[in-house]
Amino acid sequence: MRHYHNLLYICRGVSDETEGLKQALSLARNNEAPLKVLVISPEFPKEFPDYEKKYQEALLTQAEASIQSTKKAIKLEDGSVDISMELLSDKTPSIKIVQYVLQHGHDLVIKEAELYDDKNGFKAIDMDLLSKCPSPVWLCRPIRQSRQQIQVAVAIDPESQEPAAENLSKRMLELSRSLADSCSGELHVLSCWDYQFESYLRDSVWIKISDEEVARTVLKAEQEHRALLEKLIEVSNISGIYQVHHLRGKADDIIPSFVKNKEINILVMGTVARTGIPGFMIGNTAENIMQRLTCSLMALKPQGFISPVKVY
């Protein structure tokens, strides 16, 4: 898998980030790409400049120790990945991270997910990166399985007619196929469909439609959605082993439940901020799904996405 050439790992340095570093170093190795580790430090009160320097030195020392222990854990030979490290201090780190990405041309941002107490969803800094960062974002959660057992899934919405959405879906399928090939070898393609007018048609006192006609209408909607999905898979030219899960229901409910029940380790999804692409809008379906996820997330945006963050 060689999709990315300039990887950035975000290190908070305040907790054990072994799991995140494992995924970052593995991605760098698989892509034969350098890895920049950006260590994030909070802004200290100006009254304590000496303490700030000592704290930042401790963060860098901790980050270096974590990198070395993680390299040993995944049996990464010295020199096989070009690793460099830099410290960034700011009271709004998510904005600074996006600016850093824009300035240095990073094509993948990797970060360990900041968990709530119930271990679902993502906190504010993660959501900021998902909605504003121009490059794909990989949010890591612990993966206990061996590489050969890691399960990869991709969530696809085939109904949008916009070229940007179709191209995004193709990229998601290609990337998830490549990820699956580097893991268990099996890809789960998930797509949700529904016919939201069914209950209205069955229960309305104003419209008299037989149950058989309603059933035919619902079946037609299912078949049309499935045909669009299969066409999208076909034009993406993915091969290998994959299962198509064409499930009825709201994506907000179906996708998190599917991830949990199938023990998915990595989910590939599309995210967009306010472009009008159905099913891919931060603040709508995508955000609702993300707040309930329990796995690592690879989030992509359509080509041509322009970040609202500016570099001054």
CA distances from 124 to 195, 251, 296 (A): 33, 22, 17
| C-alpha–C-alpha distance, residues 57 and 65, integer Å | 12
Q: Can you tell me which residue has the tokens 């570099």? A: 311
Could you tell me which residues are beta bridge partners of residue 269? 299
Environment class of residue 19 by beta-carbon count within 10 Å: exposed (0-12), middle (13-18) or buried (19+)?
Answer: middle
Helix (H) or strand (E) holding 84: strand 83-89
Please indicate whether the domains covering 1-112 and 144-312 agree at the CATH topology level.
yes
One digit per residue, the tens of pLDDT, for the chain of length 312 reads 568 999 999 998 766 788 899 999 999 998 999 999 999 987 777 777 778 888 888 899 999 999 999 999 999 998 899 999 999 987 788 899 999 999 999 999 999 987 654 455 446 788 889 888 999 999 998 898 888 999 999 999 998 767 888 899 999 999 999 999 999 999 999 999 988 766 666 666 567 777 788 788 889 999 999 999 999 999 999 999 999 999 999 888 999 999 999 999 999 998 764 444 444 445 567 777 878 888 999 999 888 888 889 887
- Give the pTM: 0.87
Query: What per-residue confidence (pLDDT) applies to 14?
Result: 65
Predicted pLDDT of residue 308: 87
**87-100 burial, b if ≥16 CB within 10 A, otherwise e?**
bebeeebbbbbbbb
**How open is the CA angle 16-18-19, to the nearest 5 degrees?**
115
Name the DSSP class of 107: S
Residue carrying the six token digits 């179906």? 254
CB 235 within 8 A of CB 170: yes
- The domain spans of the chain are 1-112, 144-312
- CATH topology for 1-112? Rossmann fold (3.40.50)
Contacts of 8 (CB under 8 A, 6+ apart): 35, 36, 38, 100, 101, 104, 106, 108, 109, 110
Residue from 302, 296, 250, 255 nearest 126 by CA: 296
Parallel/antiparallel/unpaired status of strands 241-248 and 186-193: parallel
Task: Pick the closest to residue 172 from 160, 154, 188, 189 (CA basis).
Answer: 154
In what helix (H) or strand (E) does residue 59 lie, and over which residues does it extend? helix 49-73
Name the fold adopted by 144-312.
Rossmann fold (3.40.50)
What's residue 121's pLDDT? 43
